[in-house]
Amino acid sequence: DAGVIQSPRHEVTEMGQEVTLRCKPISGHNSLFWYRQTMMRGLELLIYFNNNVPIDDSGMPEDRFSAKMPNASFSTLKIQPSEPRDSAVYFCASSLLAGDNEQFFGPGTRLTVL
């Protein structure tokens, strides 16, 4: 298996622009998580899905952030409009619900908003 796939790996954009981050979970996994990591705040859970349904979005910082999971093999995290304080590494992770719930992380997307 290729593991969790994220794209793009790096994104540089200007303040006010829309940013879309993409994630393909491991095949067969039915839970998907979006995290944000910064030096100041560490690792933060933004939102997670079970069987494509959003379960907990309490970590989404503002209405500028939205996430979708249209099917079991694809999810997006969108920021519109982006701001410099959104600069961070965004990780996607997936797991198999029921069992030990080990999460497998993708390589991350490093976002820089100028």
Partner 1 sequence: AQSVSQHNHHVILSEAASLELGCNYSYGGTVNLFWYVQYPGQHLQLLLKYFSGDPLVKGIKGFEAEFIKSKFSFNLRKPSVQWSDTAEYFCAVNRGGRDDKIIFGKGTRLHILP
Do 7 and 91 touch, CB atoms closer than 8 A? no
103 binds partner 1 (CB under 8 A): yes
Of 50, 66, 73, 76, the one binding partner 1 (CB under 8 A) is 50
For partner 1, the closer CB: 42 or 70: 42
- Least Cα distance to 92 among 65, 112, 74 occurs for 74
100 binds partner 1 (CB under 8 A): yes
97 binds partner 1 (CB under 8 A): yes
Q: Dig out the tokens for 92 from the structure.
A: 């996607």
Of 13, 20, 22, 45, the one binding partner 1 (CB under 8 A) is 45
**Separation CA 89–CA 9 (nearest Å):** 9
